[in-house]
Amino acid sequence: MAELTRRDMLRASAAAAAIFAVPSKAQAAAALPWSTQWDPEADPVSAELLDTGVVPEVNRLLWNWTRNDQPLPDGLPGYLRDFMAKARRVPDWADTAKLERAAQFNKSRGLYLNLLNGVGGGMLSTAIPKEAWSVYYSKGGADMEDRVAKTSLLGFSVGSLNAYRPDGDCIVQAVKTRLVHAAVRHLLQQSPHWKWSVPITQEDILVTWHTLPTYAMRRLRDWQVPISAADSQAYLHVWQVTAHMLGVRDEYIPQTWAAANAQSDQVLPPNMGPTREGVELTDILLGQLAEQTSPGSVSRPLVNALARYLVGDQVSDWDQIKREPLWEPLIATAWPLLVRFREGLIPLPLVPEIAWTLDEAARQYILLFLTKARETKIEIPTTNRPE
Ligand code: HEM
- Alpha-helix residue ranges (DSSP H) falling in the chain: 6-19, 25-31, 42-51, 55-62, 78-87, 96-108, 110-115, 121-125, 129-137, 144-158, 170-188, 202-209, 215-222, 229-245, 257-267, 276-292, 300-318, 327-342, 353-374
pLDDT digits (tens, 9 = 90+) for 310-341: 999 999 999 999 999 999 999 999 999 999 99
pLDDT value at residue 298? 72
Please tell me if the CB atom of residue 335 comes closer than 6 angstroms to any atom of ligand 1.
Answer: no
Please tell me if the CB atom of residue 177 comes closer than 6 angstroms to any atom of ligand 1.
Answer: yes
ipTM of the prediction: 0.98
pLDDT value at residue 342? 93
Q: Which long-range contacts (CB under 8 A, 24 or more apart) does 353-362 make?
A: 354/330, 357/297, 357/298, 357/302, 358/302, 358/306, 358/331, 358/334, 359/111, 360/293, 360/297, 361/289, 361/293, 361/297, 361/298, 361/302, 361/303, 361/306, 362/111, 362/114, 362/115
pLDDT value at residue 29? 60
What does the alpha-carbon distance between residue 82 and residue 72 come to, in Å, rounded to a whole number? Answer: 10
Handedness of CA 208, 214, 215, 216 (dihedral sign): positive
What does the alpha-carbon distance between residue 214 and residue 22 come to, in Å, rounded to a whole number? Answer: 38
pLDDT value at residue 387? 81
Q: Which atom of ligand 1 is nearest to the CA of 150?
A: 11
pLDDT digits (tens, 9 = 90+) for 251-287: 999 999 999 999 999 999 999 999 999 999 999 999 8
pLDDT value at residue 363? 85
How many residues are listed for the chain in this entry?
387
d(CA 335, ligand 1 centre) in Å: 30
d(CA 181, ligand 1 centre) in Å: 6
* 188 backbone dihedrals φ, ψ, rounded to 5°: -60, -30
pLDDT digits (tens, 9 = 90+) for 176-212: 999 999 999 999 999 999 999 999 999 999 999 999 9
What does the alpha-carbon distance between residue 371 and residue 148 come to, in Å, rounded to a whole number? Answer: 12
What does the alpha-carbon distance between residue 13 and residue 117 come to, in Å, rounded to a whole number? Answer: 34
Please tell me if the CB atom of residue 175 comes closer than 6 angstroms to any atom of ligand 1.
Answer: no
What does the alpha-carbon distance between residue 226 and residue 343 come to, in Å, rounded to a whole number? Answer: 8
Please tell me if the CB atom of residue 126 comes closer than 6 angstroms to any atom of ligand 1.
Answer: no
Q: pLDDT by residue for the chain (387 residues), tens digit each?
A: 334 444 444 344 433 333 333 345 555 566 789 999 999 999 999 999 999 999 999 999 999 999 999 999 999 999 999 999 999 999 999 999 999 999 999 999 999 999 999 999 999 999 999 999 999 999 989 888 888 888 888 988 999 999 999 999 999 999 999 999 999 999 999 999 999 999 999 999 999 999 999 999 999 999 999 999 999 999 999 999 999 999 999 999 999 999 999 999 999 999 999 999 999 999 999 988 887 765 566 788 999 999 999 999 999 999 999 999 999 999 999 999 999 999 999 999 999 998 998 888 888 888 887 888 788 899 999 999 998
Please tell me if the CB atom of residue 199 comes closer than 6 angstroms to any atom of ligand 1.
Answer: yes
Q: Which atom of ligand 1 is nearest to the CA of 381?
A: 37
